Amino acid sequence: KESLAAAADALHKRGVPVVILTLGSNGAFVSSPDFTGLIPAPNVRAVDTTAAGDVFNGALANALWQGLAMKDAVTLAVKSASYSVTRAGALNSAPTVDELRAFSNELRQ
């Protein structure tokens, strides 16, 4: 975690206000004015990681556009990307809102 914070600090010193480092199955590290910390990924069986980054970025952009706080937005993006790797292909792996809601409910149980 210290090396992640150091990498984020180096970017902050160059003028980047928000740093999000994606870590695959380990989730994402966030360093922002609102939140700094690790968002863990749920444990899933990965089938195809082709679109995980695209799904993460799309979910993050949508969550921020809807006004979610940074921690909540990245948490949603991590869950979305985690769900996407459980399916084969790129387009077919992006979860719908209902699929993501069901996946989140499964994780709570």
Active-site residue list? 54
| 32 CB-contact burial (10 Å; exposed 0-12 / middle 13-18 / buried 19+) | middle
* Residue 9: partners with Cβ closer than 8 Å, 6 or more residues away: 31
CA distances from 109 to 62, 72, 104 (A): 26, 20, 9
Helix ranges, the chain (H): 2-13, 52-65, 70-84, 97-108
